[in-house]
Structure 1
Amino acid sequence: LTQADIDRGWYTPEFAFTVAPVDGSAPAVTVTHAAAPVVLRDGVLAATITGARADAGRDLAANPYAVGTQVPYTFRVDNRSPMVVTVVPATGDFSP
């Protein structure tokens, strides 16, 4: 970790190494890896979730929902963080 990583609140794990036989019988191979960012403190994840009925033009007074009616709904997630964010409803009769 660097001070910049700590100040930013996240870092991306990266490493590289080279493998080669001691006797030189084969060429050296370098292996590298970069993983997903890791959060180091609270407040780094920043997502805004908005949503609304997808039938906003429906007159609910004249045509109310009935028991068992599926309500069309859309939502949008705007992720302003460096991490991938997965959002699914936590409660209710929704499916992702």
Structure 2
Amino acid sequence: MILTRETLWLLVGFAGQAAFTGRFVLQWLYSEYKKRSVIPTNFWYLSIVGSTLLLAYAIYRQDPVFIVGQAFGSLVYFRNLQLIAKNQKRKGISNA
């Protein structure tokens, strides 16, 4: 099987969508486990991975609506990780 440029970009798009969908599955299962609504830190990491891959795909497709939507989302995801780190530092919690 020959991997064409178009096939490669479709794989990038599907990988981004899988990561993006995976974050909702993670949040749902984690909340079920905790018996309350919880957003785990890995939700934000999956959001960044999915958003970055989808942004690359949107740029390749030259879709300005998709590009703006994914670019803005990444800012929110990084900010949430900053807030989590700041809160953990304030509480003296280590990520190690």
Instruction: Report the TM-score, using the length of structure 1 for normalisation.
Output: 0.23
Q: Which has the larger radius of gyration?
A: 1
The structure with the largest helix share of the pair is 2
The structure with the largest strand share of the pair is 1
- Considering Cα pairs closer than 8 Å and 6+ residues apart, tell me whether 1 or 2 has the greater RCO: 2
